[in-house]
Every structure is written in C-alpha cells, then in structure tokens.
Amino acid sequence: MLLIDGETDNLAEVARAARAWHDGAALNEIRRAAPFVHLTGRFEVPALDPARLTESEWQTMRQEARELEYAWQETYQALIEAAHAEPALRALYPFTSHWALRFSTTTRPRLTVVGPCVMANSDGTYGVGRGFTSEDLGRFATAQEAVELAVRRLPSGLGPVALGE
C-alpha cells in the first residue's frame, strides 16, 4: 500500500526520503525532508478508526482511478464510482487488483472478503464473479448493472467494518 509517492531526478532527495523513512519519521516529516514526496492520504486516520479507514480507502481509490493513464481508465473509473455510489458497498472496505474490485468487512492488514468480485474489462464491459477475475455471475454493458448484481449477492446482516488486526 502506497503511503507516499513522487518523482524526482535528484538522487539526494530520494536518499533523504529513504533516510527519514528508515529513521521512523512521520509521513509529514518525510514530506518536509524531501519536497518531491506526495502523501497519498492512506492510513492518515486518528486512532485507526475502521469507518474512517474505509472512507480514506474509498477516497484514495477514487482519486487513483481518476489519475490512471490506461486505455480502459474510463471503464475502471466508472466501476469505482458506481460502487462508491451504492451505500451497501460504500460501507464495506474496498480493495482492488488487476481491475477487480473486492470488498471486506475488515480493514487491512487482515481482510475478510465478502460478496462477489466486480471487474472492469479492457473491452469496456463489466464482469461479476464469485472468485477473483471470474465472471461466472455475469457480464454487463454498464458498471451500474454489475454493481447492482454485486449488491444483491451480498450476505444479509453485515455489520460495520472492523479493524483487521
């Protein structure tokens, strides 16, 4: 999980950032030591509140989707926004890999996966499956259709997200 990122051609700045990290500096102190560093906002949550961690992860995921430079960036962004618009999914901790969006009832580091996997495909379609990158539950033309199925496939009685310890 990226906590900081950035670009520089100055190796001395990279060394200052690495040294600050090694020495246990807080993220904002690393930023002061190496101005090229960008704080991603992940896990900058007081007392590691699970609800706030979930909100933070959704915000980071939405921002990253807007900034992608891939051919199917619009398809992926539409999926993330459609999932975020659904209260039942927005209440869950989101995580993603390879254009596949999953949900958990616990935060990192120990995720408790719940519900189906929803995918943005390179051909502009969306898949929903029981397993990672499986489309055994359906393939759809819109993100909204895929998200609606994902919501219907969630187990009932899900409580608030807990800290994944």
Block means of pLDDT (10 residues each) for the chain, length 165 residues?
75 89 83 78 67 88 85 90 97 89 93 95 94 88 98 94 89
- The predicted pLDDT at position 44 comes to 62
Structural domain count, the chain: 2
User: Helix, strand, or coil here: 58?
Assistant: helix
Distance CA 75, CA 123 (A): 9
Distance CA 55, CA 163 (A): 13
- The predicted pLDDT at position 139 comes to 97
Looking at the structure, do residues 106 and 56 belong to the same domain, yes or no? yes
Looking at the structure, do residues 16 and 68 belong to the same domain, yes or no? no
- The predicted pLDDT at position 40 comes to 65
Looking at the structure, do residues 84 and 146 belong to the same domain, yes or no? yes
According to DSSP, the β-strands at 126-129 and 38-39 are unpaired
Report yes or no on 164 lying in a domain.
no
Looking at the structure, do residues 124 and 86 belong to the same domain, yes or no? yes
Looking at the structure, do residues 141 and 63 belong to the same domain, yes or no? yes
Looking at the structure, do residues 94 and 35 belong to the same domain, yes or no? no
Distance CA 142, CA 93 (A): 22
Looking at the structure, do residues 15 and 50 belong to the same domain, yes or no? no
Distance CA 165, CA 124 (A): 37
Looking at the structure, do residues 54 and 117 belong to the same domain, yes or no? yes
- The predicted pLDDT at position 46 comes to 61
Report yes or no on 91 lying in a domain.
yes
Looking at the structure, do residues 80 and 52 belong to the same domain, yes or no? yes
Whose CA is closest to 43, among 29, 27, 31?
27
Domain range holding 99? 46-152
- The predicted pLDDT at position 80 comes to 97
Rg (CA), the chain: 18
Looking at the structure, do residues 8 and 51 belong to the same domain, yes or no? no
- The predicted pLDDT at position 45 comes to 60
